[in-house]
Amino acid sequence: MCSYVQVAESCISTYILARLLVGPVRISVQAPCGAGVALQRSTSMQQVRKLVSKKELKTVHGIPYSFAHIARLEKAGQFPKRIQLGACRVAWWEDEVEDWKSSRPRAA
């Protein structure tokens, strides 16, 4: 039998992941122990924010810095803050990375 704490933890982690990926959501638990957690998107128009992985920073967005240098820039407040998705997985909001790129001076 599941305890209340286990149900709450599974619902909270599902809710946080859904908030990161699609924005505001409603969660309805249909079965005990979070077995039937259903995520429903609200009917209002939403702008979906995309996430950018470490690999995509270099390949898609052309950022030539090493990951250690990106971490130093983040710490100094000169690069968008990362979002921790898991123990070894991070990402950045694509719109924040695009804003950062457009604020950088271009070479002549």
Dist CA 54 CA 77 (whole Å): 18
For each of the chain's 108 residues, which pLDDT tens digit applies?
Answer: 443 434 445 445 555 555 555 555 444 444 444 444 444 555 566 778 899 999 999 999 999 999 999 999 999 999 999 999 999 999 999 999 999 999 988 766
Contact status, residue 24 vs residue 55, Cβ threshold 8 Å: no
Alpha carbons 60 and 42: distance in angstroms, whole number: 31
The model's pTM: 0.55
Q: What is the pLDDT of residue 27?
A: 44
Would you give the DSSP letter of residue 88?
S
